[in-house]
Amino acid sequence: MGSVVLMKAVAVLFFLSLSGFVLADKVKEVKELQIGVKYKPEACELQARKGDKVRVHYRGKLTDGTVFDSSFERGDPIFFELGTGQVIKGWDQGILGMCVGEKRKLKIPAKLGYGEQGSPPTIPGGATLIFDTELVEILGRGSKPKDDEL
């Protein structure tokens, strides 16, 4: 009888430990865009705004730490027009207001990333994405934005 109780206790502990791993993984999932400023230059002559053509270095990771893409390693930042849908929505929102040289960590929920379909084979459906970003350049502009343009 004692071994049956012990086996049940082990089974319960095993189930709880698995549940803990599942819960711990869900804690990493985000519901809204989270922006963490990691470095901001003292002088900020220009801030990125909608319609700007920008160059951004990035490292994209899944919540388990798996890197799925990185411009840093290639030495080739991505070039796109901000706020026009050329990149995922989390980027269009998360890069706004950045200064040249600024570094941000973006935690992007699936709804602002690749959604429930993901981007197989590297990004599973429903994935929260984590990007380390650095604004390298703002092209074709020479004036400070007004507050309502950010």
Catalytic residues: 58, 68-69, 88, 114, 131
Amino acid making up residue 19? S
Task: Return the half-sphere exposure (C-beta side, CA atoms, 13 A cut-off) of residue 81.
Answer: 5
Cα separation of 113 and 127, whole Å?
8
Q: In what helix (H) or strand (E) does residue 3 lie, and over which residues does it extend?
A: helix 2-27
Q: Do 82 and 98 touch, CB atoms closer than 8 A?
A: no
